[in-house]
Amino acid sequence: MRFPESEQPEDSSASLDAVAGPSSVGLDHPGPSNGHLNGNGFAAVTNGASVASAAGNGVPKHNGHSKQSSAPSHSLSVARVTLPGSSLYDDSDVDREEFVRLVIQSLRDVGYIESAATLEAESGYAMETSDVADFRRFILEARWSKAENALQRLGVRDREGLWDARFLISQQKYLELLEAQQTTDALHVLRNELAPLDVDSEQLHTLASLMMCSEPEDLRQRAGWDGAAGNSRRILLDNLQRYIPPSTMVPPRRFATLLHQANVYQRQQCVYHNVPTSTTGFSLFSDHQCDETGFPRVTTTILKVHSDEVWMLEWSRDGNFLASSSNDKSVIIWGNGPEEWEQRHVLIHPYPVISMAWSLDDSILLAGSEHHIKMWNTKTGVCLRTLDEHSEQVTALVWLPDNSGFLSAGMDFKIVLWNTEGQRRDVWGILPVRVAHMVITPDFTRLVAIGMRAPLPVDPRENDPAAPAANGAPTSSPPPKDEHRLLVFDFATRRNEWSTLFDGELTSLSVSQNSQYALISRSPDDIQLWDLNTGRMARKYTGQRQSKDIIRSCFGGFESNFVISGSEDSNVYVWHRDTGVLLEVLEGHGEGSVNCVAWNPRNERMFASCSDDGTIRIWEAPPPEMMLESPSASIAPDYPQVATKGKGKTRQRWDDGA
């Protein structure tokens, strides 16, 4: 908004054509008492130490409080600048007035109060009218009646919006009266101001119950409110902002919000965005772009001890250990030592292991095979307990985020809840699918499962009393061909929020770190990204091959920015999650499928893959010495390998020496 030609900024000490500037002045005028000059020849002023009133504010303020000058102020005449047009630049769509007002707001926010006043004077644009400044002051000073009367002057004329805004103001007033133990006045507000606003009866009862609080601290705790002396009035201002036109009352820190949005957009467009070893801040001087050479695309270690196909990988929580399971009926725990990977324990099972899970402190590894679960001590390699609750293959194991126990699921239609000692606590009941995989979202709100659609198990004696039950195991008719289901449950209530059917086998499931997305591998040749909040598919990733084998894909990198999968063509595929761009096709494994990939949870620049060739590969970013020698390398070249005797593995060499 522009100052009227017949007026000057409120509390300003100069006319429109000669407007008050900062207290620091040019070389013809004495500066502050410290006598220091900045590089432009002007006396330096501590931010906010000598404050001129900002135009249209009514009172000088910094962070919402009046601030008195601690040094004499000197005037520097600043002529108003009149520019043609209304755009910031001739070829720009940005409105000049909006831009200048946001600059003024930002200057005030960081403490350049006098600079903001000078810019208002020179541009003729007021960041806000005196009505807005008065409204802010009324709220911060608890002058509730005046604040309510100011709402319509600020453009809040919609009946519903006006009532909502009045409710927020009256609610703050009511809580402050209760905090001050003025119960009679608080009751008056409840009956005569809040109740007539058509408040939801349950909400009104909740507010009324607060009158039973005997101490202010009890009130603040029960109301989730930090009191009149806290930030509650500023929070109230932020909440009232949504009812006032933004052109009238500029949203708080609007420039910072726009810069954050620009940062997020640039990171989304940077397909190789990943956290480097040493992170740097977001620069305003250049667009963000990650160097693709820092992406983990080179095999740095090959682990070969398994005597058969390696089916599954699972990182420890701290990222220092890796568990691998194989068709040779063993699980190997690998440790990342100071110089190389080491084989820590070989855990023998009666059947191949098809599900694993580390405890939150990495002290226990759960391993599921056929119908039983083994609990292993990862420090000693000793089996602590064998659990035999399931009647068919145990396909999924998940440790609870609150460390109260773990869940197991399998092809017998049920999910079992265990405590940390391996004692059964509960059974979720009969599910409509044979569970193939199961995940709990990191925010602990949902359980997501995939599996083969099937009718509920029926005891055959229900139809034929003479028919014996098969060892008590549930029986059912075969499921419809190629029909599989994704199910999403509310974890607290166990209620099925939504589900969807697929034609084609679902082989793996993982959830992003922000708990929003589920990644599903589907045969043939399809990986899908589903939004758990909307229940809709967001994106597909193609290129990999999957027709007959179980291939496990996953998220990876900083903020789960990447999608990675093995393939039946012996390669590893990597996509950018948000754009679906195929970034890398990594070669190196021998013949057969790459069955599983797993990204290190603590090192965004490392992941592992395992294959039918019996090996595990550790992938990392090329070391600096390699990039100096071969800066154009993009896919792991066939570097010489040196066998490590007794370790059953090979390590890549970066030089050509023998």
pLDDT 10s digits, 155-194: 998 889 999 999 999 999 999 999 999 999 999 999 999 9
Please indicate, yes or no, whether residues 184 and 233 belong to a single structural domain of this protein: yes
> What's the pLDDT score for residue 135?
96
Distance between CA 396 and CA 143 in Å, rounded?
Answer: 59
| Residue 86 and residue 138 share a domain | no
Given 233, 252, 271, which residue is the final one in a domain?
252
Residue 167 — φ and ψ, nearest 5°?
-60, -45
Across residues 321-336, what is the average pLDDT?
A: 97
Assess whether pLDDT exceeds 80 at residue 620. yes
Measured CA to CA, the distance from residue 440 to residue 545 in angstroms comes to 27
Beta bridge partners of 179: none
pLDDT at 571 over 60: yes
Instruction: Let me know if residue 139 belongs to a domain.
Output: yes
Q: What order do you get walking across the sheet with 330-336 strand by strand?
A: 310-315, 321-326, 330-336, 341-348
Co-location of 176 and 57 in the same domain: no
pLDDT at 351 over 70: yes
Q: pTM for the whole thing?
A: 0.69
Q: Is 152 contained in some domain?
A: yes
Which pLDDT value is given to residue 340?
Answer: 86
For residues 117 and 137, membership in a common domain is answered with no
Amino acid at 546: Q
3-state secondary structure of 62: strand
3-state DSSP assignment of residue 564? strand
For the chain, the domain total comes to: 2
Confidence of residue 624 (pLDDT cuts 50, 70, 90): low
Q: 157 and 105 in one domain?
A: no
236 and 192 in one domain?
Answer: yes
* Spatial strand order in the sheet of 364-369: 355-358, 364-369, 372-377, 383-387
**Domain ranges, residue 163:** 133-252
- Interior/surface letters 33-54, b for 16+ CB within 10 angstroms, e for the rest: eeeeeeeeebbebeebbbbbbb
Q: Flag whether 16 is in a domain.
A: yes
Residue found under tokens 């701290």: 318
Question: What are 434-487's pLDDT values in tens digits?
Answer: 999 999 999 999 999 999 976 555 444 344 433 444 444 444 455 445 589 999
pLDDT at 505 > cutoff 80: yes
**Do the domain assignments include residue 571?**
no
The reply to whether 106 and 12 lie within a common domain is: yes
Domain end marker among 127, 158, 185 = 127
Identify the helix (H) or strand (E) that includes residue 219: helix 216-223
Exposed (0-12), middle (13-18) or buried (19+): which is 75, by Cβ within 10 Å? middle
Q: Which residues contact 479 (CB under 8 A, 6 or more apart)?
A: 434, 452, 453, 454, 455
Residue whose structure tokens are 């040196």: 642
The sheet with strand 572-576 has its strands ordered as: 554-556, 562-565, 572-576, 582-586
171 and 113 fall within a common domain: no
Pairing of strands 582-586, 572-576: antiparallel
Q: Answer whether residue 45 shows pLDDT above 60.
A: no
Look up residue 6 and give its two tokens.
Answer: 């017949």
Asked whether residue 596 carries a pLDDT value surpassing 60, the answer given is yes
Q: Does a structural domain hold residue 391?
A: no
Q: Taking 90 as the threshold, does the pLDDT of residue 644 lie above it?
A: no
- Both 116 and 54 in one domain: the answer is yes
pLDDT-derived band at 2 (thresholds 50, 70, 90) equals low
Structure confidence at residue 626 (pLDDT): 59
The per-residue pLDDT for 51 is 35
335 found inside a domain: no
Same domain, 61 and 177: no
pLDDT of the residue at 625: 61
Please check whether residues 117 and 138 belong to one and the same domain: no
154 and 195, same domain (yes or no): yes
Task: State which of 229, 252, 275 marks the end of a domain.
Answer: 252
Is 386 part of any domain?
A: no
Task: Indicate whether 460 belongs to any domain.
Answer: no
